[in-house]
Amino acid sequence: MDRRRIGGHRPVNPICTATTASGCPCKAQASRWPRGVEGDPQLCGRHLPVDLREIRDAGFAEAERRHVERLAARDPVCWSWGAAVPEGRGDDRSAFRAWHAGRCAVCGCRDVRLVEDHDHDTGLIRGLLCRSCNGREPHDDGLFRKYRERPPAQILGILLRYWDPFHGWAQPRAIEPNRLDNHPAYALAARLGERLQADGA
């Protein structure tokens, strides 16, 4: 099967091999087919029969399951970076970025734009992630669950409140009164609030 590369990007799907009701070739792009599953019919979604659609979907589901298992077996790469805060970096925020050294805290990818991941319960920054990991973090209970349990901010003992350019400083999310005393994340946010108030006094 010839999957052409265009402009150095990943291969594109071939053109559908079916014909339309009028007898003309269908020029739609063929549906993606899971890697390792035989029998790619090179048909678009409109012409793909139900039985082949089920085979395709089952193949993608199995690939996703194996991917999740591989992620669950890994640890966030930041766990191997040590807990030494870089010296001579000024404030905590600068030291926090210097410790990441341009690397995603989960996958370790370099030379990509990193974003600040924060805990919505506390409003505190957890770590710096690449856009891919930041998008997957809320939906994954394997590798990212480990990251949430011991993020870079906890490794370094640094408390940084998240800043949103549109909404300002992130605030702790309202928590039921009977859970406040036993909620460690809220306690961290409270300590940061006390520090900020003392600095402003």
pLDDT bin (cut points 50, 70, 90) of residue 201 is low
β-pair partners for 29 = 15
Q: CB 3: neighbour CB atoms within 10 A?
A: 10
Whether residues 23 and 38 share a domain: the answer is yes
Domain-terminating residue out of 72, 93, 122: 72
User: Measuring CA to CA, how many Å separate 186 from each of 137, 150, 153, 157, 172?
Assistant: 20, 16, 15, 15, 7
Q: How many domains does the chain have?
A: 2
| pLDDT tens readout for residues 63-88 | 888 877 877 778 999 999 988 877 76
Whole-angstrom distance, CA of residue 39 vs CA of residue 42: 9
User: Measuring CA to CA, how many Å separate 134 from each of 31, 106, 115, 119, 148?
Assistant: 28, 9, 7, 12, 12
Domain-terminating residue out of 54, 72, 90: 72
**C-beta of residue 112 within 8 angstroms of C-beta of residue 104:** yes
Whether residues 120 and 189 share a domain: the answer is yes
Higher pLDDT, 82 or 10: 82
pTM tops 0.75: no
| pLDDT tens readout for residues 130-186 | 998 999 888 777 888 899 999 999 999 989 989 887 888 888 876 554 444 444 555
Of 60, 29, 22, nearest to 46 by C-alpha is 29
**Taking the CA atoms of the chain, what radius of gyration do you get in angstroms?**
24
pLDDT bin (cut points 50, 70, 90) of residue 108 is very high
The whole-number pLDDT of residue 52 equals 92
Mean pLDDT of the chain: 81
The whole-number pLDDT of residue 4 equals 44
Q: Is the pLDDT of residue 196 over 70?
A: no
Q: Is the pLDDT of residue 97 over 80?
A: yes
Residue 180 belongs to domain spanning: 77-200
Mean pLDDT for the stretch of residues 88-117: 88
In the three-class reduction of DSSP (H, G, I as helix; E, B as strand; rest coil), residue 126 is classed as: strand
